[in-house]
């Protein structure tokens, strides 16, 4: 009985995760792709922020 409950809970969790990913992708504009585990850490500027974000605006739109 416990195995059936655990299986049903796993399926429900997997459905919720996939459903959330589909909804999130549909409502967001395209952006820079992140690397596994560190995301977009290397995309953050250190100096001259306005130049950096201006290039993102040119590339991804506003």
pLDDT digits 0-9 by tens, 3-59: 999 999 999 999 888 887 776 666 667 777 778 888 888 877 778 888 878 888 888
Count of CB atoms situated within 10 Å of the CB of 56: 14
pTM value surpassing 0.85: no
pLDDT score for 24: 65
pLDDT score for 62: 67
Quote the domain boundaries for residue 7: 2-60
pLDDT score for 60: 82
How many domains is the chain built from? 1
Residue 29 CB contacts under 8 Å (≥ 6 apart), including other chains: 60, 61
């Amino acid at each position: 009985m416990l195995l059936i409950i655990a299986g049903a809970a796993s399926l429900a969790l997997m459905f919720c995760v996939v459903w959330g990913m589909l909804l999130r992708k549909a409502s967001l504009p395209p952006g820079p792709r992140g690397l596994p585990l560190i995301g977009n850490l290397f995309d953050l500027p250190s100096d001259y922020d306005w130049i950096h974000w201006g290039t993102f605006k040119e590339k991804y739109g506003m």
